[in-house]
Structure 1
Amino acid sequence: MKAMALIVHINPPEDGLIYTANNTKLKIGDKIVGKGTLYISQNYFGWQAENMSEGISIPWKQISVHGISSIPSKCIYFMLDHNLEWRGVYDKETRASAPNISRNGNVNGAEVAQQINGEIVHMEQQLDDERNIDVDEGNVTDDEGDNTDDHLTECWILPDDVNTVDIIFQAMTECQALHPDSADSLSEESDFMDDDDGNSIESVPVLVGNDEIDDAEDAQGGIRNLNLNDERFADADE
Structure 2
Amino acid sequence: MVVVSSLPPPTEGVRVQEPSTAAHLGNKPLGPGTLYIAESRVSWTGAEGQGFSLEYPHIMLHAVSRDTSNFPHPCLYMMVDADIDPQDGPADGGADSSDEDAASGSSVTEVRFVPEDEAALDRMFHAMSECQSLHPDPNDSVSAEGDDFEGDDCDEGPDDAGGGLANGGGDADTHQPMETGQFDDVDE
So what's the TM-score if we normalise by structure 1?
0.51
Show CA shifts across 1:45-83 (max 9, x none). Answer: 0000113x2210110111000001123222111000122
Say if 2:113 is the partner of 1:157. Answer: yes
CA displacement at 1:162 relative to structure 2 = 0.4
Amino acid at match of 1:155: V
Amino acid at match of 1:163: A
CA displacement at 1:41 relative to structure 2 = 0.4
2:9–2:44 contact (8 Å) kept in structure 1: no
Aligned pairs for 1:73-222 (under 5 A) are: 73-87=73-87, 130-131=103-104, 151-184=107-140, 186-188=141-143
Unaligned 5+ segments in structure 1 are 93-128, 132-147, 193-238
Show CA shifts across 1:214-233 (max 9, x none). Answer: xxxxxxxxxxxxxxxxxxxx
For residues 20 and 174 of structure 1, the distance between their equivalents in structure 2, rounded to whole angstroms, comes to 15
Once superposed, what is the RMSD of the aligned Cα atoms? 2.8
Amino acid at match of 2:26: G
Match of 1:63 in 2: 59
Say if 2:8 is the partner of 1:11. Answer: yes
For residues 91 and 83 of structure 2, the distance between their equivalents in structure 1, rounded to whole angstroms, comes to 9
Amino acid at match of 1:14: T
Larger Rg: 1
2:9–2:36 contact (8 Å) kept in structure 1: yes
For residues 88 and 10 of structure 2, the distance between their equivalents in structure 1, rounded to whole angstroms, comes to 26
Determine which structure has the larger helix proportion and give its number: 1
Aligned pairs for 1:11-30 (under 5 A) are: 11-30=8-27
Q: Which runs of 4+ in 1 moved over 2 A?
A: 8-14, 85-92, 186-192
For residues 28 and 90 of structure 1, the distance between their equivalents in structure 2, rounded to whole angstroms, comes to 12
Q: Alignment identity in percent?
A: 30
Match of 2:42 in 1: 45
So what's the TM-score if we normalise by structure 2?
0.63
For residues 182 and 91 of structure 1, the distance between their equivalents in structure 2, rounded to whole angstroms, comes to 25
Amino acid at match of 2:62: H
Q: Structure 2 vs 1, CA of residues 62 and 189 (structure 1 numbering), >3 Å: closer, same or farther?
A: same
Question: Match of 2:37, SS?
Answer: strand
CA displacement at 1:159 relative to structure 2 = 0.6
Question: Match of 1:15, SS?
Answer: coil
For residues 12 and 88 of structure 1, the distance between their equivalents in structure 2, rounded to whole angstroms, comes to 19
Amino acid at match of 1:61: P
Amino acid at match of 1:152: V
Amino acid at match of 1:64: M
For residues 31 and 85 of structure 1, the distance between their equivalents in structure 2, rounded to whole angstroms, comes to 9
Unaligned 5+ segments in structure 2 are 93-101, 148-188
Amino acid at match of 1:74: P
Equivalent residue pairs, number: 136
